[in-house]
Amino acid sequence: MFLSKKEKKLNQEYLRNGFVIHNIENIKSLDQIRDIVINIIKKNLPNLKNEKSEKILNNIHNFVESKKLNNFRLEIINKINSNQNFRKNYFEISKNLIETIVGNELAMQLRVGLSVQLPKDSSSLLSVHADTWTGVSPYESVVWLPLVNCYKTKSMYILPAYKAFKISKIFKEKNIRSSEDIYKKIKKDVVWLKVNYGQVVIFDHSLPHGNVINNEKETRWSMNCRFKSIFTPYAEKKIGEYYEPITLRAASKRGITYKYPDEK
C-alpha cells in the first residue's frame, strides 16, 4: 500500500473501530450549515431572534411541541436541501476524511437527512440495525454531523468493528426475535459517540447502530449523509435516484464515453 503515514493511520482507525471522529478543518462551512438551520427556526419562532444558536438548538423542546416537531423537521430539511450551497458545504466539511477513507471519485446522497431528538421523546427512535441488513451496499460510509455537542443518550451508538464478530453468533441464537433482543445482547459492547459541535463522524453503516430515548436535558440535532466511491457496487440505493456523482475525474469521464473505433 502506497498510502501516506497519515492516511494509513486513518484507514486503520476506521477498520479497527468502524468509525472515526475528527475535528472539522473548515469551520466556516459548518457555521454556514448551522446558520441555515437557525435562520429557518428564527423565521418560524421570531421570539428567539436574539438568542444564541447553541441555546436555541439545545433547548428547542421548550419552544416546539413534540407533536409539531416532525413537520417542523421536514420543513427545515426541505429548505436546507433546496439551498444550492448546502450539500457542497456538507462535503467540504469532511472532504479530506472522506477522500482518505472512501476515495476521491465520490457519489453523494442527493438529500441529506436531519435528526432531531427531544429529551424523553420516543417518537423518532432508530432501533438497532445495520443498513446492509435491508439491502444497502456495504461500500458506503455515513458522514454524521452534530449541530450541538452530543454525548451519552443524546448521541448515537455503534457496535465497534472489533466487536462485530458477535453479531453472527447472536443471529444464530434461537431466542432472538426483535431488534430489542439484539440490542440487549450488544448493549455492553456498543460505543456511545461523544462528538462536539466542530467535529464530524464517519462511520460504517454495516455495523449495528441506533439510538435510545434521549435521557439528557438537551435536544440532539444531527445530520447524516452517505458517500461512496462512484465505481463500487450499488445495491438498494441507486445512482441517479439516490446518489449523485460529485467528483468524477477526467480519465473516468473519458472511460465512460469511450467507444472502440469501428473497423468498417
Site string for Fe ion, 73-112 (x = CB under 5 A): ----------------------------------------
**Three-state DSSP state, 62:** helix
Q: How far is the CB of 258 from Fe ion (least distance, A)?
A: 37
Q: How far is the CB of 73 from Fe ion (least distance, A)?
A: 17
Helices (H), ranges, the chain: 5-17, 27-44, 53-58, 66-81, 86-101, 165-172, 179-186, 250-257
Q: What is the number of the residue whose Cβ is closest to Fe ion?
A: 131
- Our CB check for Fe ion shows the closer of 83 and 132 to be 132
- Our CB check for Fe ion shows the closer of 58 and 146 to be 146
Q: Which residue has the cell 454556514?
A: 32
Q: How far is the CB of 131 from Fe ion (least distance, A)?
A: 5
- Our CB check for Fe ion shows the closer of 48 and 136 to be 136
Pairing mode, if any, of strands 140-146 and 243-245? unpaired
Cell reading at 112:
441529506
- Our CB check for Fe ion shows the closer of 92 and 131 to be 131
- Our CB check for Fe ion shows the closer of 131 and 204 to be 131
Q: How far is the CB of 25 from Fe ion (least distance, A)?
A: 26
8-state DSSP, 262: P
Partners of residue 72 on adjacent β-strands: none
Q: How far is the CB of 130 from Fe ion (least distance, A)?
A: 7
Q: How far apart are the first and last CA of the chain?
A: 44
- Our CB check for Fe ion shows the closer of 131 and 140 to be 131
Q: How far is the CB of 127 from Fe ion (least distance, A)?
A: 10
Residue 82: which of 39, 111, 114 has the closest Cα? Answer: 111
Q: How far is the CB of 209 from Fe ion (least distance, A)?
A: 6
Find out whether 218 and 148 touch, Cβ atoms under 8 Å: yes
Farthest CA pair distance, the chain: 75
- Our CB check for Fe ion shows the closer of 157 and 197 to be 157
Cell reading at 172:
444464530
Cell reading at 102:
472512501
CA distance 163 to 186: 9
Residue 140 in the binding site for Fe ion (CB under 5 A): no
Site string for Fe ion, 119-138 (x = CB under 5 A): ------------x-------
Amino acid at 89: N
Q: How many residues bind Fe ion (CB under 5 A)?
A: 1
Binding site residues, Fe ion, CB under 5 A? 131
